[in-house]
């Protein structure tokens, strides 16, 4: 049962979870559960993997169609899209980040869950700039694939 209305923090039970196979391929996960008129994620996807019934509906990702390119991550005004890819005993989490200083590739950073709780350390694998948003890929222990959603430099 979601406690989002009280806490403003999503839990895993609010999401449509990808399978292990889909996580190994890499998928975008839209953690967007408020019905607001917004759809840049839909337009950004080169393979039309994100759909919405109407402009106020919630986005739905076709996890099989998603090629984990990450384009949708930087266009979401709610910073609510993450790409997760499991690789061996690690999970690569691609997330939007708008604080300064920006992390550098190879840097060790604290990794946080949705509530801002520190889960441990992660290593920055990639940093891309998209306007004022940095698109960060951080490597964490595989067991945190569905938990880590932020970093602290
Ligand atoms: S990661 Fe790329 S392919 Fe997947 S939903 Fe986002 S834009 Fe589409
Ligand atoms: S762009 Fe972000 S906030 Fe807007 S519908 Fe897509 S996931 Fe939700």
CA-to-CA dists, residue 12 to 2, 45, 71, 99, angstroms:
9, 24, 23, 25
Ligand 1, atom 6: closest residue by C-alpha: 72
Q: Is 74 in the pocket of ligand 1 (CB under 6 A)?
A: no
Q: Is 38 in the pocket of ligand 1 (CB under 6 A)?
A: no
Distance of CA 80 to the CA centre of its chain: 6
pLDDT given for residue 4 in this prediction: 81
CA-to-CA dists, residue 127 to 77, 104, 107, 137, 151, angstroms:
19, 7, 11, 6, 13
Q: Can you give the pLDDT of all 153 residues of the chain as single tens digits?
A: 567 878 888 888 889 999 999 999 999 999 998 889 999 999 999 999 999 999 999 999 999 999 999 999 999 999 999 999 999 999 999 999 999 999 999 999 999 999 999 999 999 999 999 988 999 999 999 999 999 999 999
Q: Is 29 in the pocket of ligand 1 (CB under 6 A)?
A: no
CA-to-CA dists, residue 60 to 41, 141, 150, angstroms:
10, 27, 22
> What is the whole-number distance in angstroms between the Cα of residue 134 and the centre of ligand 2?
17
pLDDT given for residue 48 in this prediction: 98
> What is the whole-number distance in angstroms between the Cα of residue 6 and the centre of ligand 1?
30
């Amino acid at each position: 049962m979601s406690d989002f209305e009280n806490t403003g923090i999503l839990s895993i039970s609010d999401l449509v979870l990808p399978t292990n196979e889909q996580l190994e391929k890499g998928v975008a996960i839209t953690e967007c559960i408020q019905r607001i008129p917004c759809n840049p994620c839909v337009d950004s996807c080169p393979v039309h993997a994100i759909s919405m019934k109407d402009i106020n509906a919630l986005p739905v990702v076709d996890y099989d169609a998603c090629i984990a390119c990450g384009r949708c991550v930087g266009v979401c005004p709610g910073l609510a899209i993450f790409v997760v890819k499991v690789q061996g005993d690690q999970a690569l989490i691609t997330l939007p980040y708008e604080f300064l200083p920006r992390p550098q590739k190879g840097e060790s950073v604290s990794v946080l869950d949705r509530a801002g709780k520190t889960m441990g350390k992660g290593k920055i694998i990639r940093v891309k700039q998209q306007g004022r948003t940095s698109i960060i890929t951080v490597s964490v222990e595989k067991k945190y694939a569905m938990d880590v959603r932020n970093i602290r430099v």
